[in-house]
Amino acid sequence: MLQLFLKNGLVAKTTMTKEKREIIIFLIFTLAVLITPFFLRGSYFLNVLVFIGINTMLAVALNLLLGYAGQISLGHAAFFGLGAYVSGVLTTRFGLDPWLALVIAAAVSGVLAFIIGFPILKLKGHYLAMATLGFGIIMFIIFNETVAVTGGPSGLSGIPNIQISSLIFDNDWSNYYLIWTITLLVMLLSINLSQSRIGRALRAIADSEVAARVMGVNARLLKVQIFTVSAVISAMAGSLYAHTMTFISPASFGFNFSIELVTMVIIGGLGSIYGSFLGAAILTILPEFLRILQDFDIIVYGLMLIIMTMYLPGGLISGLEQIAGFIGSKIKSRGGSHA
């Protein structure tokens, strides 16, 4: 009985220490995000950080599905585009408030994801990848061909900026804090989700769906639910993108961008929220250096995926943790030798 009590106390202490560490890391990350604009002189860099925020939200959404639940999606740009177009159409054609349009866009994407999730998530492996790819292509065609509603290849313009009372988010400074406030909330909710019973159940499904079912996890419903949550977050990012850019076109939501999202998650680290940020930051900045390659940048993304899968499957976050652990062990060993 005493051993059991001590063991439970040790587990509780370890969990509490881990929770405190997560809180400290998140607070430091939040502080860094809040003060960064004060160190930037040029508005161009601030604009890049705005898009890093949007892409971080998308990468976190996909990581919940791919990194935690182990379900591949090659069509996640479709939900991003759906959120952007629903919000854009509602505000330009029907004059709705952008905040209300954002909520409706997220709801529409969530309902659609829940409906198609049941048949699609029955599939596994490359069959699931092909099904999500097909969904992404269908949505791209809809965005491109419904000219009367979406503007077709010419795009949809005149989308209003988000506004709170007299404050209009119409410049990089205000957009930065708007988008990163929502991104930080999404990251915080995702961290809490990953450490909850649902997060443990998702990891069990990723490891072995059969074993998870034996342990009492409703794997089918849980996969659909996390697919829905991922779609809702992606749609919110799409809505913010539309109201930030005030112009959208189908080219922004095609297959190439879905591949970019997968690359962000894998480079940053599967099952890592901060890895999602790191992957999003790298893949947002990298195109600035690949402009000379024009349409061949997708080859670079493919090579990055191959290299990361072969040599660093845990992603950059895992690599950084290994380096930090190695340095820490070296410091301890030197301290012990001096003692």
Q: Which residue has the higher pLDDT, 290 or 193?
A: 193
For residue 105, what pLDDT band results from cuts at 50, 70 and 90? very high
Tell me: pLDDT of 16 over 90: no
Residue 162: closest CA among 240, 235, 52: 240
pLDDT at 196 over 50: yes
Question: SS3 for 156?
Answer: strand
Per-residue tokens: 19: 């929770």
Place of tokens 């119409």: 170
Q: Which residues form the domain of 144?
A: 49-254
For the cut 80, the answer to whether the pLDDT of residue 132 exceeds it is yes
Angle between helix 77-93 and helix 219-245 axes, rounded to 10 deg: 50
- Write the DSSP assignment of 285-324 as a string of letters: HGGGG-GGGGGGHHHHHHHHHHHHHHH-TTHHHHHHHHHH
pLDDT score for 70:
92
The reported pLDDT for the residue numbered 45 is 87
pLDDT, tens digit, 9 for 90 and up, residues 46-88: 999 999 999 999 999 999 999 999 999 999 999 999 999 999 9
Q: Is residue 144 in a domain?
A: yes
Task: Report the domain count for the chain.
Answer: 1
pLDDT confidence band for 330 (50 / 70 / 90): low
Q: Is residue 277 part of a domain?
A: no
Q: Is residue 27 part of a domain?
A: no
Q: What is the mean pLDDT of residues 136-154?
A: 94
Does any domain span residue 21?
Answer: no
pLDDT band at 155, cuts 50/70/90? very high
Burial label for 297, CB within 10 Å (0-12, 13-18, 19+), is middle
Beta carbons of 121 and 185 less than 8 angstroms apart? no
Q: Which residues contact 109 (CB under 8 A, 6 or more apart)?
A: 79, 82, 83, 86, 231, 232, 234, 235
- 142 CB contacts (<8 Å, ≥6 apart)? 150
- Is 99 part of any domain? yes
**The pLDDT of residue 293:** 64
Non-local CB neighbours of 145 within 8 Å, separated by 6+ positions: 152
Q: Which of 248, 261, 276 is nearest to 81 (CA)?
A: 248
Is residue 215, in this structure, part of any structural domain at all? Answer: yes
- 57 found inside a domain: yes
Query: Mean pLDDT throughout 155-176?
Result: 92
pLDDT tens readout for residues 208-265:
888 889 888 899 999 999 999 999 999 999 999 999 999 999 999 998 899 889 989 9
Structure tokens at 8: 């439970």
Q: Evaluate if residue 168 carries a pLDDT over 60.
A: yes
pLDDT number for residue 7: 44
Q: Is position 34 within any domain? A: no
Banded pLDDT at 294 (limits 50, 70, 90):
low
Contact present, 72 and 190 (Cβ < 8 Å): no
CA distance 187 to 333: 36
Q: Which of 100, 116, 75 is nearest to 260 (CA)?
A: 75
DSSP string, 168-198: E--SHHHHHHHHHHHHHHHHHHHHHHHTSHH
Provide the pLDDT for residue 42: 65
pLDDT of residue 236: 97
